[in-house]
Amino acid sequence: MTKKQLSIFIENKGGTLIKVLEVLSKAGIQIIASTIADTKDYGIYRVICDKPEDAYLILKEEGVNLQLTDVNAVAVEDKVGAAADVLHKLTDDGVNIAYMYSYLEGGKGMLIYKTN
């Protein structure tokens, strides 16, 4: 299935990440999973939340640079080896993964990934 992910442009400076989290918190948006890499001048903070379209509009109003990105989501059994099985299938199908992260939901593991 696909999910809507917030891709937020964050300057590598103190206070920028906190500002985004505070805006979301004040708007009652719940973050389900998120990730940001250790890059130099800026990073893209990727967020799965409970109300992505609302979050997008609220952050845009605050003047934040962001995008609503379609990402793939696949639920797997919460057991050892489950992710490897999924990746085998994807690689066999010739799918190239750009980035990936995961979280647990309702006893299942959710793999979020974007393809090239």
Binding residues for other proteins (CB under 8 A): 5, 7-11, 16, 37, 39, 41-42, 44, 46, 63-67, 69, 98, 114
In the complex, minimum distance from the CB of residue 96 to other proteins, in angstroms, rounded to a whole number: 13
In the complex, minimum distance from the CB of residue 64 to other proteins, in angstroms, rounded to a whole number: 7
Nearer to other proteins by C-beta: 19 or 88? Answer: 19
Q: Which residues pair with 77 in a beta bridge?
A: 108
Q: Which residues pair with 116 in a beta bridge?
A: none
Cα torsion 68, 72, 75, 80: sign: negative
Nearer to other proteins by C-beta: 76 or 100? Answer: 100
Nearer to other proteins by C-beta: 67 or 91? Answer: 67
In the complex, minimum distance from the CB of residue 60 to other proteins, in angstroms, rounded to a whole number: 9
CA 86 to the chain's CA centroid: 18
Q: Which residues pair with 99 in a beta bridge?
A: 114
Other beta carbons less than 10 A from residue 3's beta carbon: 15
Q: Is 33 in a helix, a strand, or coil?
A: strand
In the complex, minimum distance from the CB of residue 98 to other proteins, in angstroms, rounded to a whole number: 7
